[in-house]
Each structure stands twice: as structure tokens, then as C-alpha cells.
Amino acid sequence: MKILVCISHVPDTTSKINFTEGDTKFDTNGVQFVINPNDEFGLTRAMWFKEKQGASVDVVNVGGPETEPTLRKALAIGADAAIRVNTEAVDGATVAKQLAKVVTDGGYDLVIAGRESIDYNGGMVPGMLAAMTGANFVTNCISLEIDGTNAKAVREIDGGKETVSTSLPLVIGGQKGLVEESDLRIPNMRGIMMARKKPLTIVEPVDANVETKSTGFEKPAPKGAVKLVDAENIDELVNLLHNEAKVI
């Protein structure tokens, strides 16, 4: 089985978000970038398939040279080879178009992407990629088993979960649950040394129309001070929620 894990390169969750150039560009100053958490779960599950069922695992990112340390980290965790499509990730559709080419050229059976990137929360790329390549698609995936070309997946839905059967070729949007938090792999010294020797191939992008474009950003208005209610006077809280906030 040939597995491709899509890796989105995102600001660390503790990052403060600021903008520059008249609020038109994300300010990367002082921001640390990491593998998108949803993709970490997917990558660890891919390693499980490799070790238990026999599979090759490649990772891919659509982005500039600045994303290479993130791809190297994925290699250090255990992926066999990395691909970087050398273009800026402008929107979900352009990224999906680039990935579709990689998937078709590489003949991958299973594509593991994340449910969403935690920076932009688009939740677009995996579904678009599946539609573009004609693969089956399951998102919010919290469990995945593969048997030959048959697949069984569990998807989180509003208020519960659902079990589905499907088949390869398949794209999933994965998340926590695919593996447990405690099973996530972190690179060790040996992995980091080996990653230096693994191939990281740079491919040039295909033409893609830009369908959506963010022209400006703003931060939420600063919040007013909290109204403190005395722990001995809970009637006051009920009163405020009813008469002032009007939420009960």
C-alpha cells in the first residue's frame, strides 16, 4: 500500500497572531511553526500501517522553502520520503489542485490528511482532493482499518459517531482518535539523523486559478472587563444572565 500523508505547516498553538503591511499579511515574526496537530495523528497512524501491514509512507506539503524543517520532522518521525510542491499555499482549492497532481503521479492508494488546519480552519483540502482525484472520502475520521482494498472508518458526527465501509483509493480527513494522544510519535536522535539522508523532492507547481483571496485581516475587538459576582450571591449571576445578557 502506498500512503501519502499531507502535512500542513502551521503556527504553534500558543502563537499570538499579528499582521503587517497594513493588516494584509500574517506576521511570522517570532512565530514557531509545527506539523498541524490533526496531521500528526494521521502520520502516526500511517506509521502503524507501515509497521504492522507493510506500506510505504510519503509526506507532502504545498509551500515555500520555509516549510522544509516541518517536512524533515515528519521524516524524523518515520516517513520514507518527502515532497514539497514549490508554491505558496494561497487557498484550499489551489493546494488541493497541487496535491491532486502529486497523488495521481505517485499512484497513492491512501491519502491521509487532517480534518482541518488549525490556522485557517478551512476544512477544504481533503474533500476537494478526493473529488478531484475521484477517490472515496471520509472526514472527521477517528478510526481507520484497512484490509486489502477494503476500508472501515469511524467518523465523528454532531452528537455521536458513525461507522462506514469504503474502499481504496481513499482520502481521509483525520483527527485525534485515529491514534491516542499518548501514542503520538516524537522524533528521536536516530530518527533525526536518518531524516537527513532521506529524499526531499521539490516539484514545481501546476497552473491553478486563485478562486478565493484574503485581502485583509483584523483582530477581534478588545474585550471589556469581566463582571465578578460574589460566590455568596449566586442569585446575582442568575439575574445578570437573565436581565442583562438575556441568555436564559
Partner 1 sequence: MSVIVYTESEKGKFKKVAFEVVSYAKAIADKMGTSVTAIAVNAENPESLGNYGASKVLAVNDDSLNVFNAKKYASAIEQATKQENANVVVLSSSADSKYLAPILAVGLEAGYVSNVVEVPSNTAPFTVKRTAFTNKAFAHTEINTEVKLIGLSNNSFGLVESGGSASVETFTPNIPDSGVTVESVDKATDKVSIADAEVVVSGGRGLKGPENWALIEDLAEVLNAATACSKPVSDLGWRPHSEHVGQTGKPVASNLYIAIGISGAIQHLAGINSSKVKVVINTDPEAPFFKAADYGIVGDAFEVVPVLTEKLKAFKAQNA
Ligand X SMILES: Nc1ncnc2c1ncn2[C@@H]1O[C@H](COP(=O)(O)O)[C@@H](O)[C@H]1O
Instruction: Report the b/e string of 68-85 with b at 16+ CB within 10 A.
Output: bebbbbbbbbbbebbbbb
Q: Using CB under 8 A as the criterion, what x/- string covers residues 114-143 for binding partner 1?
A: ----xxxxxxxxxxx-xxx---xxxxx-x-
Cβ at position 140, least distance to ligand FAD in Å:
15
Please give the backbone phi and psi of residue 6, each rounded to the nearest 5 degrees, phi first.
-85, 130
Interacting residue with ligand X among 35, 46, 55, 60 (CB under 6 A): 60
Tell me which residue of 128, 109, 113, 102 sits closest to 167, measured CA to CA.
109
Is there binding between residue 92 and ligand X (CB under 6 A)?
A: yes
Q: Does 37 bind ligand X (CB under 6 A)?
A: no
Whole-angstrom distance, CA of residue 246 vs CA of residue 107? 56
Site for ligand FAD in 37-66 (CB under 6 A): 37
Q: For residue 111, report the phi and psi dihedrals to the nearest 5 degrees.
A: -115, 120
245 binds, among partner 1, ligand X, ligand FAD, none (CB under 5 to 8 A by kind): partner 1
Under rule CB under 8 A, which residues in 21-40 are in contact with partner 1? Answer: 26, 37-38
Q: Is 11 in the site for partner 1 (CB under 8 A)?
A: yes
- Decide: is 44 part of the binding site for ligand X (CB under 6 A): no
At closest approach, how far in Å is the CB of 177 from ligand X?
Answer: 14
How many Å is the Cα radius of gyration of the chain?
A: 21
Give the whole-angstrom CA distance, residue 30 versus residue 12.
11
Q: Is 116 in the site for ligand X (CB under 6 A)?
A: yes
- Please report whether residue 158 would count as binding partner 1 according to CB under 8 A: yes
In the list 120, 194, 208, 229, the residue contacting ligand X (rule: CB under 6 A) is: 120
In the region spanning residues 6 to 35, those forming contacts with ligand X, defined by CB under 6 A, are: 6-8
Shorter beta-carbon distance to partner 1: residue 16 or 190? 16
Q: What are phi and psi of 151, to 5 degrees?
A: -130, 145
* CA–CA distance, 247 with 138 (Å, rounded to integer): 36
Residue 162 touches partner 1, criterion: CB under 8 A:
yes
**Binding to ligand FAD (CB under 6 A): which residues in 7-36?**
13
**CA 69, chain centre distance (Å):** 16
Asked whether position 78 contacts ligand X by CB under 6 A, the answer is no
The SS3 call for residue 175 is: coil
Q: Which helix (H) or strand (E) holds 161?
A: strand 160-167
Candidates 77-85, 104-112, 151-159, 188-196 — which segment interacts with partner 1 by CB under 8 A?
A: 151-159
Q: Which is nearer to ligand FAD, 118 or 200 (CB)?
A: 118
Interface region with ligand X, contact rule CB under 6 A, candidates 68-76, 113-121, 143-151, 159-167: 113-121
Residue 24, classified by CB atoms within 10 Å of its CB into exposed (0-12), middle (13-18) or buried (19+), is exposed
